[in-house]
Structures are given as structure tokens and as C-alpha cells.
Amino acid sequence: MVAEGVESSAQLRILRQHHCDLAQGFYFAKAIPEPELLRFLQEKFRDGYWLGSGKMETSSS
């Protein structure tokens, strides 16, 4: 089961009690425009791995 639109910890707690497998919604993160998402992914991931809170360094070749 997948729950959409989860907005509070109370909702998440109830879903977990009912064995919900996955959930999404503003409780976890607000929706963002695609260009902002692409920038975030470029800054936070390299070769499929999470880089953490630091920005990805780029080198000019």
C-alpha cells in the first residue's frame, strides 16, 4: 500500500499501524519545480551516491 498526501506525524503513525509500505507528502518534503530538483540532484549526488550536505565541486577540463 502507498499513501499520498501525508502532512503530519499523526497521519504517518496511523499509516504505520495499518502496515502501509510507502508514503509521500508535504510531511517529508514540499514539491519543487523540475529545474530546482535537477540542480539539487546534481549538487547532492555523484555517480549515484549521496554526497551529503556539502556542494559538489566541479573541475574545468
CA dihedral 45, 46, 48, 51 (to 10 degrees): -50
pLDDT band of residue 52 (cuts 50, 70, 90) is confident
* Averaged pLDDT, 13-19: 96
User: What is the predicted pLDDT for the residue at 54?
Assistant: 52
User: What is the predicted pLDDT for the residue at 60?
Assistant: 47
pLDDT reading at 14 higher than 80: yes
Cα-Cα-Cα-Cα dihedral sign, residues 15, 4, 9, 29: positive
Q: Do the bridges between strand 45-46 and strand 49-50 make them parallel or antiparallel, or are there none, so unpaired? A: antiparallel
- Gap between the Cα atoms of 21 and 23, Å rounded: 7
Percentage with pLDDT > 90 across the chain: 70
Average pLDDT value for the chain: 87
Domain coordinates in residue numbering, the chain: 2-50
